[in-house]
């Protein structure tokens, strides 16, 4: 056959993404093996050159809870609405670790993976999604730790575990946290490619958000304007509902969860829009 008459057959054509909002889950699913590879890389690399390895998944929340117990329960004497202070702090730290890890690690997607992005094509959303999933493994381990400590403390105090029906809200709460962390992370990941100093703003904002979230204090501890400001935090109804399912000592409001879910989805849409916009030209600025 004449080479001039031969036409090459393309199995797939890669073209620039001209749409600002594109969240093609089907394409991400096609690269699920790559997602699994990145999840394994994130999980293994973090503890590869450490002495205790994955034991830090258990030691870190326990040590942080112990510090909170001494400072806020014994010294500051902040009430926990009748809940066991140690369990109160551990439950808050467990959720906060997942959200903060999702936010901070996702926000570094473009800068940390510029070398990979410049060499091979794959859906760029694969990396932030893999971060969310790898942190989900850590969350699972720490939730088992929380459950074990709860059962131990209750048995030590001679109490009988009483779980309410709202415990089935756990998956929804984790989903909202994942969406919010992913959305905010994509937003900061997009803007920090050009304005690197915003990474310092994120560090400060994350610390400030921690104090604005009822992690080491109940919601009714705050009064006046401060209470209204904390109530506007989308993390507040998530943490309050989580403790309500465990200890029945916090507030549970459907409206609050709907507000948190709606705001999380909105942040995700903004994050994907900015992410897709920056994706087309970020190699020129990174």
Domain coordinates in residue numbering, the chain:
42-284
According to the model, what pLDDT value does residue 31 have?
77
The C-alpha atoms of residue 272 and residue 125 are separated, in whole angstroms, by 9
pLDDT tens per residue, the chain (286 residues)? 444 554 545 455 555 555 555 666 777 778 788 888 888 887 777 766 666 667 888 888 999 999 999 999 888 888 888 788 898 999 999 999 999 999 998 888 777 776 777 677 777 788 888 889 989 988 999 999 998 988 887 777 666 656 667 778 889 999 999 999 999 999 988 888 777 777 788 888 998 999 999 998 888 887 878 888 888 999 999 999 998 888 776 667 789 899 999 999 999 999 988 888 877 665 545 5
Q: Cα–chain-centroid distance for residue 5?
A: 55
According to the model, what pLDDT value does residue 1 have?
47
According to the model, what pLDDT value does residue 112 have?
72
According to the model, what pLDDT value does residue 285 have?
52
Residues 6 or more apart whose Cβ sits within 8 Å of residue 29: none
According to the model, what pLDDT value does residue 253 have?
79
DSSP class of residue 15? -
DSSP class of residue 76? S
The C-alpha atoms of residue 103 and residue 70 are separated, in whole angstroms, by 28
According to the model, what pLDDT value does residue 95 have?
94
According to the model, what pLDDT value does residue 19 have?
55
Concatenated DSSP letters of 147-166? HHHHHHHHHHTTPPP---GG
pTM: 0.84
């Amino acid at each position: 056959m004449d080479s001039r008459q031969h036409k090459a057959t393309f199995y797939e054509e890669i073209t620039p993404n001209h749409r600002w909002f594109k969240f093609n889950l089907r394409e991400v699913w096609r690269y699920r093996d790559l997602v699994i590879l990145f999840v394994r890389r994130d999980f293994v690399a973090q503890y590869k050159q450490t002495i205790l390895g994955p034991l830090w998944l258990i030691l870190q929340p326990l040590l942080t809870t112990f510090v909170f117990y001494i400072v806020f329960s014994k010294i500051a004497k902040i009430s926990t609405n009748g809940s066991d202070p140690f369990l109160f702090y551990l439950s808050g730290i467990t959720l906060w670790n997942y959200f903060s890890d999702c936010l901070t690690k996702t926000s570094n997607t473009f800068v940390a993976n510029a070398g990979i992005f410049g060499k091979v094509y794959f859906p760029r959303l694969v990396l932030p999604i893999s971060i969310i999933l790898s942190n989900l493994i850590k969350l699972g381990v720490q939730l088992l730790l929380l459950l074990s400590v709860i059962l131990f403390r209750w048995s030590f105090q001679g109490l009988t575990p009483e779980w309410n029906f709202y415990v089935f809200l756990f998956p929804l709460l984790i989903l909202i946290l994942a969406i919010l962390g992913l959305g905010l992370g994509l937003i900061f990941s997009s803007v920090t490619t050009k304005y690197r100093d915003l990474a310092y703003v994120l560090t400060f904002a994350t610390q400030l958000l921690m104090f604005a979230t009822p992690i080491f204090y109940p919601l009714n501890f705050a009064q006046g304007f401060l209470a209204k400001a904390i109530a506007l935090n989308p993390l507040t109804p998530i943490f309050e509902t989580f403790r309500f399912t465990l200890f029945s000592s916090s507030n549970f409001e459907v409206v609050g969860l709907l507000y948190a879910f709606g705001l999380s989805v909105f942040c995700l849409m903004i994050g994907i829009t900015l992410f897709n916009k920056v994706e087309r030209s970020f190699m020129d600025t990174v």
